Amino acid sequence: MSVQSITILGNGSWSSALAKILTDNGQSIQWWMRSADALKSLQETGHNPHYLTTVQFDMNLIGLHTDLIQAIHQSDIILVGIPSAFIADVFAILPKDTFKGKVVLSAVKGILPGHSQLLNEYLKDHFDLPTENYCCISGPCHAEEVAADKLSYLTFASDDTKVAASIAALFQSPKLQTIVSNDVNGVQYAAVLKNIYALGAGIAHGLDYGDNFMSVYITNCFAELQRFMDVISTQTQHHYNTSAYLGDLLVTCYSLHSRNRTFGNFIGKGYSVNAAKLELNMVAEGYYASKGIHEISMKYHYPLPIADTIYAILWLNESPAEAFRKIEGIFS
């Protein structure tokens, strides 16, 4: 697949990390930001003013845009890094043929609220995007460690593995190793669920549970994740990848870089959901994902006891302490 350019949509920490990887590899990009002030600051200083602020970007390789449609028209590959909660609103202005002939690369790790869909399902329904023109990225990979040039691993999944391999090659470097998969739904659902479980790990930490409990908690989370993916995706059991599933779960549950773990920690310490949002000042995908996954599990009549407990804490105002006593009962 020949590539002329890549357009990145969104300027959060993950989008910024991916922009850094590409430009460090000499790849030119177009970059859309909703905030004109953030765009102006990046243009003038070479730094994203709000995320990964220490990263210096090579502005000779970056074209900046506040016009969404124009930014998308510039490129063959559209990298979506907008938080899942805002995608439907942002894309509402786009004509139905916007993505015709383009490949969409998803860096989204969530369920679209109000639709209870993964991004590929939403794009197929609303923009007629062929399944082979969709690729998704999964970790384990924290934006902060990418920015610090720490060795990291990314999985690229597409129904067309040639597309996935071509895109992965753009990101490959001595500090960024890539893996190709065709388990599109499995990779995405694993990324969604690990954020929910990481939020629960943060709640447990805020409630003063220790490492012994945490090890049992994460083990059971992984078992629940595997069972769910076996139910919802026939691909999962045939294209299993430890780093994309277990590795991503571990790093998100344990790392201090994890915004979902941090968000959960506030909840465990007694913050309300709204207060935790204000304190974090970033989007914790696990919060929105917990509602989406709950709706999907109800649709498939397949309960997820741990994820459902996190949902009850966040959306039904169940006491974190009482909810985790129920989780203790699940493990015994």
Query: Which positions are catalytic?
Result: 194
For 270: left if phi > 0, alpha if psi spans -120 to 50, otherwise beta; the answer is left
Helix (H/G/I), strand (E/B), else coil: 2 = coil
Question: Is residue 5 exposed (0-12), middle (13-18) or buried (19+ Cβ within 10 Å)?
Answer: middle
The CA distance from 6 to 27, in Å, is: 8
Instruction: Find, among 194, 306, 307, 302, the residue nearest to 251 by Cα.
Output: 194
CA distance 54 to 47: 7
CB of 287 closer than 8 Å to CB of 263: yes
Q: List, in order, residues 6 or more apart from 294 with CB less than 8 Å away.
A: 304, 307, 308, 311, 315
CA distance 137 to 158: 9
The answer to whether the beta carbons of residues 7 and 31 sit under 8 Å apart is yes
Q: Which residues pair with 78 in a beta bridge?
A: 7, 104
**How far are the Cα atoms of 55, 97, 107, 166 from residue 129, in angstroms, in the given order?**
34, 9, 17, 19
